[in-house]
Structure formats: structure tokens, C-alpha cells
Structure 1
Amino acid sequence: MGDKPCPVIPAPKSLDLRPGDRPWPGAFDVQCRTPHADSAADLFRRPLSPRQGTMPLVLDSASIPSASGSCQITLTEHEIRCTAHAPDGFRYAFQALRQLATEPDMPLGTIADHPSLAIRGFHLNFESYRRMDLAAALQLIETAAKFKLNTILVEYGPRFPFASCQDIVDAESLTPGQIASLTAAAEAHGIELIPLQQSLAHLEYLLRHDRFAHLRERPPKVNLLCPTHPESLPLIKSLMSEVLALHPRSKYFHIGGDEARKIGECPRCAPLVQREGVGQLYGRYIGELARWILAKGRRPIVWDDTLCAHPDALAHLPREAVIQYWDYIAVANPTPVLIPRMAHASGGPRVAHDWHWSIPGRRRALSDLQRDVMASYSRPARLKSALGRAYLNEFGRYLGPGFPRRLRALPYLEYYQDNGFDVITSPTGMGNGDMTGGEPNFRRFEANIATHAARCIENRRALGIITTAWYNMPPELLVQPLIWTAMKSW
């Protein structure tokens, strides 16, 4: 396509169009010839423009590539034909036609397209985004669908209307009716809504209340739940049950589990950790929740960081669980920077690069953005020795042939897969405390998103990516990373 703007975003896999000499019609005369198009046919029946006249539009099945979401659009002077094998393919064809129809004249030719990743998603975070109301959330879902995202990870925190714990509910919480509107909108737009309820860390809205003080892992701190207290699991299951009830059609349920690295410090947990280690404590707790979610007919998703720091916990997790692997540091592949979570849990570096890059002049081989990330987040270390034998035995073969100077981005992707798990990876579109003059550093976020998408597409086994978003910023700012995610993951 060269330097010319593509008329359809995300750019199709194949686009062969030439100018036509007739205007777009005001509407389509829809002829639905396959049951696969029934749920999408009404989209095509909507008025296209204020212009007069109609044009035949045929929705049919045909011999096209079998990848999920595949579609083909053929535009001739007399009709438009859209072919697909599933409802999502017809939805994507509709979105492409809508974008094409913003031009006065209808082009002629063919578009053949399919997504590269099965899951292409974004994070709708009511807890962080205090300014996100229902109207803004519905607009986000509509925009996601327009640009062919198919998944929204929704995190409510204290803005969920818990009936069993009304004292933890925020004054700005959503009502059950508003959540019903949210789920209905997602379904209408072909979006899979994945609810998330935290289970260990990030429960400040719960643990700050005196009646839950006895469940704090690190009193007086209120950020972490004790995993061994007999009241903890029933409480979390009760909260999750309420969230599940208001998302009756969700296929997945996210049980959180991130940033729980300080478990094992309370008098109840400490002896267990001394005998068996953090991984066993964490694994038993998160594994019990995952099996409980499976018994509810949903597929559990868990953040990866504590699993990565204590990989023996993986033995407790059912293989039906999906691991959501987040890495906000990688902005290129290969990358000079590593997040060695297991080594850090044993006293090693948290984010590190090899000492080689500290030699004057060596960093000129890196991009400006890679140098910025290195300066802001990473510390030099002699990686081969700093990571330790245990880490290298566990993860060394996944670091890539350029180790220790240049490493494979997202090295734990194949590690989790080789251990029998499906994986979703997560870049960030707003996070990591990265602001430039108080404003989001979209330059880094876009590189992070692009790196994740490229690695997952290259890997071929990853389920896809879901871009996260944090901080109480204006919701309109989310459009930029959302569309970037759509373009790079398609």
C-alpha cells in the first residue's frame, strides 16, 4: 500500500481496489444466504448514508481461508458480496464496508482478510479510571468493535455493586442495571467481556475496613489478603459469585493474583513458607480458586508474575487455566532488558541489563527508546552470574541466542506454553508510572503493544493480547492505545 493511507483500519491482509464511477447507495438490499450471517445481517440493513437508492448486498458462505474471523468482500458495479464462515467474519466485513463508505464513490475490487490473533483485547478498568462512567464505557466498547477488537477485560474493584458487602462499595459504583447494559452492549457488538475480581493483592477497598482487619497479610497494611486464613477463600468466592452472576455469558473469569509477592509474612503463613516456600502457598490458594471457577463452567485466567517468581506454583494450577503474561518493559525484539522475577524473589535484580551496555559507546547500538527504558527502569548486572543457577536452569533456554546482551522479548511465553498452558500476553497502553510532563508516554506504550503483538503472531500458539490501562486519566485518552492495539494485533 506504500505511503498512501489505507482506507480500512486495521489494514486488511489483501486489498485490491480500483476507483469506481458510481456513488455509494443510501442503503443495502440485504440477501442473507447463510445462517452464519443471521446475527450480523441487521448491521448491513442500517442506512449507509443520506444518499438515495439501494444496492444488492449478498451475505454467503464460500471457500475462503478457514482462519477464525475470515471474510472476503467483492465490490462490483451491480452488487456487493460478503463471504465468511462465522458471524465474526461478517461483523468484520461490515466494519470494513462502513469505513470504505465514508468516501463519495464506491471502489471496485476485492478485500480478503482475517485476524492474526484469536484474542485482541483492551482493559476497561473502572477502579483506576474514576472518570469512566457507563456512557464512556459503552463508547469504548463501540470503538473497540469498530476497529475489530473482540475482547474487553473489565475490572470493577469497589465500583461493583456487591450486595453481600455493601460497606466496601464505592459511592460511584455501577448499578446491576448498568452492568446489564454493559454486557448487552458487548454481546451486541460481538465483544467477549471478561470480568476480573482480585483474589489476593489490590484489595485495599476491602481490607481497609476494620471488620476485615484480621484477614490482612501484613497489618496494618491493607493491600494483601492472608491466603491461609479460613475466612479468606469463602469471602473471595462470595465476591466472585456476585460478579459471575452479573456476567452469565462470559466464557472466562479472571481471578487476578498479581503482585502477591509479599505473601507468607503473617504468623499464620510464615511457618508454611519456611517449610515449603512461597510457591506452594500461592499455588494451593490460586489453584483452588481456578478449580472452583472451572466448576462454575468458566475458564479461569490468572496474572503471571507471582507464578513466574515461584514456578513451583504452576503444579497446583489446572492446565485449563489461562496465564496472562504482563510485561510493560519490552519495546523491541530482541531487547537488552530482562524482568527476572524468579531471580528477584531470591534477592537478585528486579529489572536488569547486562553490564556490557554500561561500557561507553555501546548503547549507541540501541534505539533512543530502548536507551530511555534502560535508563528509567533497568540496572546493570553481570547477568550470567546475577541471575543465578536456579533461574538459568528454569528459564535459560528461553532467553534467546543473544543472551546476555540481547534477549528474546517476552521470554516466558514459550515457557508457560511448554508447561501446558494457554497464554494471553499484556502490554500496557497507560501504566508503569511513565508520564512525560504529566502526560502519557504513548511513544513507549505503542512500542510495547507492537512488540507483544509481533511476538504473539510469530509464536503462533498464543491466544492473543489484552492491553492494560491504569491511572485516573480522562477516558478519551484510551482511544489511542486501543486503536493501536487493534492495528497491531490484527
Structure 2
Amino acid sequence: MRSVPMGIAEVMPTPKQMDLSTEQTVLVDHSWRVADESDAIDIGTKFAEAFCIGMNDAPNEVALRRDSSLGAEEYRLEIAPGRIEVAAAHRPGFMHALATISQLRNGPLLPVGTISDRPRLPLRGLQLMVEKIYQFNEEQILSLIRSAARHKLNALLIEFGDRFPFEAPHEAVASPSALTRQQLRRIVDEARDLGLEIIPLVQCIGHLEWLLQHEEYADLREENEARAQFCPLNERAVTVWGELTEQVVESIGGGERVHVGGDETRQLGVCPKCAARVAEAGKGRLYADHVNRVCEWLDQRGMAPIIWDDILCAHPETMGYLHEAAQVMYWDYWTTQNPSPLLVARGSNAGAVVYDERWNSEWAGELPEITRRTLDRFARPANLESDLGEAYLDTYREYLGDQFPRHVPAMPYIEYYQARGRVVYGAPTCSGNHSFWHTLPDLQRHVENIKTFADRCIETRAAGMITSAWYNRSPELLHLGIVATAEFSW
């Protein structure tokens, strides 16, 4: 429960410790100056510009002080008559303090008091699906970047697809609605200036309709109907992927991580060569061998590959072959409470999203409305003890908890992937899977999904959480995803 004194702005995300006066304020005017001892690039200038003050000899000061005892994004803020002190160890902490100040301010007035604050997850971000959200233009993307920074997110997962301004030898791929190089530069510069890491997502096997529709790439297709998936046995596929990825990575100035997609490879093993390989070694090996070549390409260049988890979950044998550098982004858009009656059971005999059939009989009426609605819309009732199948239970039963089959821990595969030595990120959604609330997207389900995932990521000390957004809806809806992700992951 938030407890904010009347008259004080409700800072989001909620600071860890906040003690502010409702009666005493300080007026920051021309009698104030910035005293910068932060040792952080341009931080003094940013505070001076935010307060519209100088860095001269005025009697009152905004003191920026480096404190190496604080965490990477932690900050302390003390507001008193004649002196405001901001302490942080690194630039992100100072930027977060400035974001808090921007929410607390009433014009030139700030409440007297103290704030100590730090995040609970190291990576906190939002997906910008530029490829599919055609309504995105430069200004809308910049608006979301500024909102993300104001709410202390520190990452953006950006999937450009054919809206990236590809150049030779792949210039034919770029869509008529592709961003220009100048627009892309402004977007990247804004994100970097505000402390947001850009993680590009370049699909390495599936969801490649935007590429494989072009006849120049016909030889790379797994099949000729959907035209959405690379043939994983075609060595030129990794070459082309590398050339595309190199252009994207260079445009953002490099980075620590690249998301390689890898989800929903529905045509895996369709072509005759792949079908023969599946018969010999299984889908998991076919998939892993291709993905591993992509992971090796990134690993050799000092970048960590991130992969969606659904194929790993559906074909758990893949984990035994997967490149050691691969990190896992675990997505679940249906779970809205912990413990949960709903189980995402990819690869099981019961279906992908299931719940115990007794929730329709002897346990009926015990569920919150959002969970009940989600089960009815997306999940299949089953006898979980018998219908999931022996292979599924042999692999995952130990992660389903002692309340199974009535409940399971929310997002139970976090610990499964961690037990196999993987870095794990959570991925809820603020715009995924079609259900509606009063003709709006199902905001209630999305918020509960984000909160449940964040709580579990914090509990399991996951590496972070990126909230996804897939549908071509009004970009303004994504601001809710930003605020919810920030509030629950901070």
C-alpha cells in the first residue's frame, strides 16, 4: 500500500524510503547554483538546465556528490533550506534522482525531506515493436523513450524488421515506412543520453516474413507457403542474418546484448533435408545447431545472445545442446497470480496453456475475476496429473511445487533455466494475446501479468524483465506498460 502525504506528488516508481514534509518547501531560484562533484559526464549540466540555474558562486547549492558505497543505480536525495544534496555512485543514479526531482517539483518549489532509492531488478525495460506497430513514428518513439527514462527503466528491446534502413547488399528489404538514418540516429542518441540500453532484436530463424517474401531470399526459405522461416540447414541463412545484424548493431553503436528471437518456429523440420535431420536427431538438435551458429557469431564479437524460451520449453532436449553463451528470455502472457491455477505447458500432451479441470467443478468460484476470465479465454481444462504426459512431468515436475495440480508457482521455469546455468529475463506483456476489457485492450490482465512476473523475477534474482508489446495499437497505450513495469520492477 502506497503511503504518500497529502500535497506530495506520487513519485513513480515508488521510492524505497521517502520522508518529505507537507509544510516546508525550498524555492530554487537564481540564488542557487550547481556544485558538481559527481565525476559523471554532463550530469552537472543536466541539473543546471533542469533547475534553470548556473554553476557560479550563488549562496545556495545543489550539490552532486559521488558516493562509491552506493549501488550502480542507487541514489540519495536530501532537500533542505539552502542545500540540496544528491549522492550516487554512477551516472544512472544521478539520472534517477533527477527523474524523481522532476516528479516532485511544483514549479521552482521542492518539499523538504529525504529519499533513499534503488531498483530491485538490474535490467528493466520495454519492447518497441517498430516492425509491426506501423503507427510508430520518430516523435512517438522519442516520447516513449523519455517516458521510460522518467520512470527509471534502463533498457529498450527494439525489433525493427523491415523498418530498419538497410543498405547494400540488403537495401531491397527496407520497407517504404522504414526509418531514415537521421531519424534512427536521433532515437539512438536520445536513448543513450537518457541512460537506456538499446537491445536490438533480429530474428534468426522464424517471423521473417518481411525478409523471405523477397525472391532474392527464396533459397533461404524452409517452405514456400508461409515464407516466414529460414531453413536451419541452409548455411547462407546465418551469413545473411549476420549481415543484417551487423548493420543494426553498427547503427546503435554496438552493445552488450542482441536478442536473436527464435520463437514460434512452426515450420521447423518441414523441408525434406530438415525432415530427415529431425528423424535422425530430433527437432531440438536441428533448432539448437542453427541457433548455436548465430550465438557463436555474437559471442565472437563480445555480445551476449538472448533467445525466447518457448522452443526450449517445448523441446527440453535443446537445453543439452544450446550454446553456453545463450541467455533466456522467458515469456508468459497469461499468468496473473502467484500461485497460479494456470500452467503454460509447452510440449506437454495436454496443450500449451492449461489448468486442472476441477477449477470448473469442485473449486469453481474460488478464483479472482481476472484469472477466471483468462482461463476461460485462453486455457484448456485437463487432468493435469495424467494428461500432461510422462515426458513433460519427468522434466518439469520438480518445479511445479507442492500445491500441484491445484496451483503451481507463477512462472515456474525461471528456476528450471537457472538450474541449467542460464541467465534469465522475464517477459510479461502490455499488449499481447487478444482479450479485451470494455472494448479496450485487456489492461487489467496486462497489469496483473506484469506485476506477477516482476515479483517472481525479484524473488528468483533473475537478470531483469522486459515487457513486450506486439500489436499495432495506439502507441500511447504503451505508456501504461512503462509505468507498470517501472513500478513493479523498481
Shared fold per TM-score greater than 0.5: yes
State the match for 1:128 in structure 2. Answer: 132
Amino acid at match of 1:293: L
Distance 1:214 1:54, change over 3 A: farther
- Where in structure 1 are there 5+ consecutive unaligned residues? none
Shift of 1:132: 0.4
State the match for 1:275 in structure 2. Answer: 280
State the match for 1:297 in structure 2. Answer: 302
Preserved CA contact (<8 Å) 2:51 2:108: no
Alignment of 1:442-461 (within 5 A): 442-460=443-461
Find the aligned partners of 1:60 and 1:207 in 2 and give their Cα distance.
53
Q: Which runs of 4+ in 1 moved over 6 A?
A: none
Shift of 1:101: 1.2
Asked if 1:485 corresponds to 2:485, the answer is yes
Preserved CA contact (<8 Å) 2:28 2:109: no
Secondary structure in 2 matching 1:83: strand
Shift of 1:90: 0.8
State the match for 2:80 in structure 1. Answer: 76
Distance 1:34 1:444, change over 3 A: same
Amino acid at match of 1:480: L
TM-score by length of 2: 0.94
Find the aligned partners of 1:283 and 1:348 in 2 and give their Cα distance.
25
Preserved CA contact (<8 Å) 2:345 2:352: yes
Amino acid at match of 1:468: S
Alignment of 1:322-341 (within 5 A): 322-341=327-346
Shift of 1:226: 1.0
Preserved CA contact (<8 Å) 1:428 1:467: yes
Alignment of 1:163-174 (within 5 A): 163=167, 164-174=169-179
Find the aligned partners of 1:16 and 1:121 in 2 and give their Cα distance.
28
Distance 1:437 1:213, change over 3 A: farther
Alignment of 1:232-271 (within 5 A): 232-271=237-276
Shift of 1:162: 1.5
Find the aligned partners of 2:353 and 2:102 in 1 and give their Cα distance.
45
Secondary structure in 2 matching 1:226: coil
Preserved CA contact (<8 Å) 1:25 1:54: no
State the match for 1:25 in structure 2. Answer: 28
State the match for 2:469 in structure 1. Answer: 469
Secondary structure in 1 matching 2:294: helix
Preserved CA contact (<8 Å) 1:200 1:226: yes
Aligned with 2:100 (options 89, 96, 102):
96
Find the aligned partners of 1:415 and 1:102 in 2 and give their Cα distance.
48
Shift of 1:104: 6.3
Preserved CA contact (<8 Å) 1:39 1:87: no
Distance 1:272 1:457, change over 3 A: same
Secondary structure in 1 matching 2:323: coil
Shift of 1:209: 2.1
Preserved CA contact (<8 Å) 1:48 1:101: no
Secondary structure in 1 matching 2:255: coil
Secondary structure in 2 matching 1:222: coil
Distance 1:54 1:437, change over 3 A: farther
Preserved CA contact (<8 Å) 2:350 2:384: no
Amino acid at match of 1:254: H
Shift of 1:489: 0.8
Secondary structure in 1 matching 2:473: coil
Task: Kindly report the root-mean-square deviation, in angstroms, between the aligned alpha carbons of the 2 structures.
Answer: 1.9
Provide, for residues 243-297 of structure 1, a one-character-per-residue CA deviation record: whole Å limited to 9, x for no partner. 1221223211111101114301111100110111100000011111011111112
Distance 1:279 1:407, change over 3 A: same
Preserved CA contact (<8 Å) 1:283 1:313: yes
State the match for 2:71 in structure 1. Answer: 67
State the match for 1:161 in structure 2. Answer: 165
Amino acid at match of 2:14: A
Shift of 1:99: 1.2
Provide, for residues 387-426 of structure 1, a one-character-per-residue CA deviation record: whole Å limited to 9, x for no partner. 1121111111111221111011111101111101111110
Amino acid at match of 2:414: L
Secondary structure in 2 matching 1:46: helix
- Where in structure 2 are there 5+ consecutive unaligned residues? none
TM-score by length of 1: 0.94
Which deviates the most, 164-173 or 325-334?
A: 164-173
State the match for 1:352 in structure 2. Answer: 354
Aligned with 1:149 (options 150, 153, 169):
153
Amino acid at match of 1:193: I
Preserved CA contact (<8 Å) 1:202 1:223: yes
Asked if 1:309 corresponds to 2:310, the answer is no
Shift of 1:483: 1.0
State the match for 2:380 in structure 1. Answer: 379
Find the aligned partners of 1:269 and 1:348 in 2 and give their Cα distance.
26
Q: Alignment length, in residue pairs?
A: 481
Preserved CA contact (<8 Å) 2:307 2:327: yes
Amino acid at match of 1:449: I
Find the aligned partners of 2:307 and 2:484 in 1 and give their Cα distance.
24
Shift of 1:335: 0.6
Find the aligned partners of 1:157 and 1:438 in 2 and give their Cα distance.
29
Preserved CA contact (<8 Å) 1:20 1:105: no
Which deviates the most, 392-401 or 41-50?
A: 41-50
Preserved CA contact (<8 Å) 1:198 1:257: yes
State the match for 1:176 in structure 2. Answer: 181
Preserved CA contact (<8 Å) 2:260 2:307: yes
Preserved CA contact (<8 Å) 1:290 1:317: no
Find the aligned partners of 2:432 and 2:353 in 1 and give their Cα distance.
16
Preserved CA contact (<8 Å) 1:168 1:205: yes
State the match for 1:220 in structure 2. Answer: 225
Amino acid at match of 2:238: L
State the match for 2:395 in structure 1. Answer: 394
Distance 1:45 1:415, change over 3 A: same
